[in-house]
Structure 1
């Protein structure tokens, strides 16, 4: 009898380990759309400025509309993920994102373009947090950092598509049609989410991670007020957010805002050449997202990696902006910068491990709230500096990037105050 029970148990475990990849892959594919939209405006910057007759600051506002929406939705996204569940949340909001993409593509005026981008930001804002929630319910906790690394790989796939492939697509179809088609394709993947995604293995009659890892079952009895108080009163949450802000905003600025145009100005490159070099940073980030999570899980350390790579990110930015690097070495430098700046993924891991495991959505949302506030505001400040320095654009870029580098320095300082969790949940409720 015991043998039959054991065989049944092993079959159930294998089924969990098989089904989890179906669920995860669908949401990871949705996440590709999230980062594509996030980075896309930088590549079609010239098209947007010509279409709407705008300068650098107004262009930055187009990108920032996405981040304003994303910022507004981060804590609500965490609440929705923890209360409503990832499946329903992603399904509903992805439809809104698809509509926003179509509106942006068809926008007759700058104001309508702003509205379209804002709707896209609202719609896609829930995907990452829901993906993290899915990972916490379908995957073993010992692999948490590695799975965040895999999520980073999906993110970089979107960023990669928003570089040279987008240049070719915009040339072939026009930037407007490209975003309209993108909205239509998003609806297909929304349907996949609705049909195949499950919030927890128990919804398929399988044992959940709590049972498989031998801990008390986590009930979905989250009370919003108490949950917010718990996460937001935890200093570890805010430290993770402050570290994230400089690193993540740098990632956005390099890949999705001013990285390509800086290369064109500083090195006299064409749009394709600049986009190809930015792809080196994307590849570096893709490798980094996996390597950082893997190494951290193996050595069971978080803080030492966070501090070291944050410091190297600061050095990398200073070299990129203020040192004239031989053109042949630019790809290597950008690969390395992309690798180390992906260290922001570690802040999500730490935020989850210093908070109640039931509140993974809200914890991730609060950290993202800090980061996306920076992503909405800092590029606009940089754009205004560029507009004020039209007569000396290269000097303008150096002044503008100094703002970003200052925030990276703040992130480095904050990393020394992060909690070392030793790759386990260290939350203890204060009573």
Structure 2
């Protein structure tokens, strides 16, 4: 593709405007609450270990199970969005993640708490793909990268609520009050969505499917044809390689690392987690603008983010003495904030590779990447902490293994993906880049 994406409006493009922002904002609010619930365990890890009397590997099982359900649901959710539309899938998701958060608040045992996190992960899995589809139905195609990054930015604001609000609620009203009180937000966004959300603006209904057959054979063909595209596979590996370092840090192991390994207070550790979120929000705006204007910058941005992240982790884990200097921890958190926006670039490889009727499926496949990597790392860190007597310096070495695997696949697939994009006619490339995106 050319260095700069053409700024044109395609025939049949949605008009955008204030109403589009209002409707899309309702969908993003659902995703915002889902992120609050997903990341609330990140500030409650030490409390959960005390409440359920569990060790590090058992604690990591909470997040692993949640992400396992999330990742496993991505392809089914993509198919559901392609078939049922945004509103129905988002409604199901909101009900499930609200029940999961509420169940976690009242769970008396480790087993019941695990079941609640699994339900939460199932509902959470239905939000992001649906929200990105909503954006492509309401905004012009050329706005796709920026709208996607804005969705991710608002989601990270949910993480900010976890670090600033949920943490204080835990020490103010206790476990049950904090989690049950936050569950009320799920009820609020569910009502807003049912009243105000529409799948698409009037006059912009999606075309009817080419085939009315929706059996197992159709599903297998949909998945097979989507996976066959190198852009889909490259998108998955970009997401795999970039997302997990910040997810693992924010979702579970960042607070224990900063408190137990670095000797910081919970307040200071919370401020550093907040810095990751703020950095993510700032970088997301920049990355969205760059990708929208310069598609050739996608791979360099991904590889640069991975390389700088790895370099900072090397510095942190090899710093002599017991504790790292604060300036280095601050720099690490700033760089980790770039991981989320970099992972969004994966969807910009899958979109032009697939026609509109496969966008949900393609985005579901891509979205599996980062969460599979996150699950693997969460488990590896927990097992290594138990095996080494809580040695975080050894446990976090697992990050480099997954980064190396991911980078090798990105380098392998980038050439054939670019060639495939160039084979497509310009108009269809632009249309596919931003018509129905999901993640």
TM-score, normalising length from structure 2? 0.85
Distance of aligned partners of 1:121 and 1:168 in 2 relative to their CA distance in 1, 3 Å threshold: same
Q: Say if 1:14 and 1:55 are closer, same or farther in 2 by CA, change over 3 A.
A: closer
- In structure 2, the CA distance between the partners of 1:14 and 1:227, relative to structure 1 (3 Å rule), is closer
Counterpart CA distance in 2 for 1:139 and 1:334 is: 33
Superposition pairs of residues 23-422 of structure 1, within 5 angstroms:
23-201=23-201, 205-207=202-204, 218-221=207-210, 223-301=218-296, 302-323=298-319, 325-340=324-339, 342-390=341-389, 393=390, 396-416=391-411, 417-418=413-414, 419-420=417-418
The one-character-per-residue Cα deviations of 1:291-316 (angstroms, maximum 9, x if unpaired) are 11111112233233223323223223
> What are the Cα deviations for residues 66-107 of structure 1, in whole angstroms up to 9, with x where unaligned?
112112211111011110001011112211211111111100
* 1:208-252 deviations in Å (ceiling 9; x for gaps): 6xxxxxxxx744447534322211222321222122123222121
- Give the secondary structure class of the aligned counterpart of 1:252: helix
The alignment partner of 1:108 has SS state of coil
**What SS class does the counterpart of residue 338 from structure 2 fall into?**
helix
Shift of 1:338: 1.3
What is the aligned length? 401
For each residue in 1:339-364, what CA deviation from the matched residue of structure 2 results, as whole angstroms up to 9, or x when unmatched? 25531110022112222233221111
In structure 2, what is the Cα distance between the partners aligned to 1:341 and 1:180?
28
Aligned in 2, Cα 1:317/1:183: closer, same or farther, shift over 3 Å? same
Q: 1:323 deviation in Å?
A: 3.2
Q: Which protein has greater RCO, CA pairs closer than 8 Å, 6+ apart?
A: 2
Shift of residue 329, structure 1, vs aligned partner: 4.4
Distance 2:162 2:408 in 1: 32
Rounded to whole Å, the distance in 1 between the matches of 2:408 and 2:432 is: 23
Give the secondary structure class of the aligned counterpart of 1:424: helix
- 1:52-76 deviation line (CA, Å, top 9, x unaligned): 1000011101112211211221111
Q: Tell me if the contact between 2:82 and 2:360 (Cα under 8 Å) persists in the aligned partners.
A: yes
> What does the per-residue CA deviation read over 1:166-217, in whole Å, with 9 as the maximum and x for residues that have no partner?
211111111222211222220121111111111111xxx3446xxxxxxxx7
Alpha-carbon offset, residue 137 of structure 1: 1.4
Distance 1:51 1:122, change over 3 A: same
Structure 2 equivalent of residue 212 of structure 1 = none
Give the distance between the partners of 1:164 and 1:145, measured in 2 at CA. 29
Deviation at 1:424, TM superposition (A): 3.4
* 1: CA distance, partners of 2:194 / 2:318: 49
8 Å contact kept, 2:38–2:120: no
In the TM superposition, what is the alpha-carbon distance from 1:14 to its structure 2 partner? Answer: 9.7
Tell me the secondary structure at the aligned position of residue 73 of structure 2: helix
What is the CA-CA distance between 1:425 and the residue it aligns to?
A: 5.5
Unaligned runs of 5+ in 1: 1-11, 209-216
Following the alignment from structure 1 to structure 2, what is the Cα–Cα distance between the partners of residues 71 and 114? 16
1:253-291, Cα deviation, whole Å (9 max, x unpaired): 111111121122332101111111111111111111111
Between the aligned partners of 1:159 and 1:321, the Cα distance in structure 2 is 25
Distance 1:348 1:13 in 2: 20
Contact 1:313–1:341, Cα closer than 8 Å, also in 2: no
Contact 1:152 1:290 in 2 (8 A): no
Deviation at 1:110, TM superposition (A): 0.4
CA distance in 2, matches of 1:386, 1:153: 32
Structure 1 pair 139/387, CA: closer, same or farther in 2 (3 Å)? same
Aligned-partner SS, 1:353: helix
- Displacement of 1:382: 1.1
Gaps of 5+ in 2: 1-11, 212-217, 423-428, 434-439
Q: Structure 1 residues 412, 109: closer, same or farther in 2, change over 3 A?
A: same
1:21 paired with 2:17, answer no
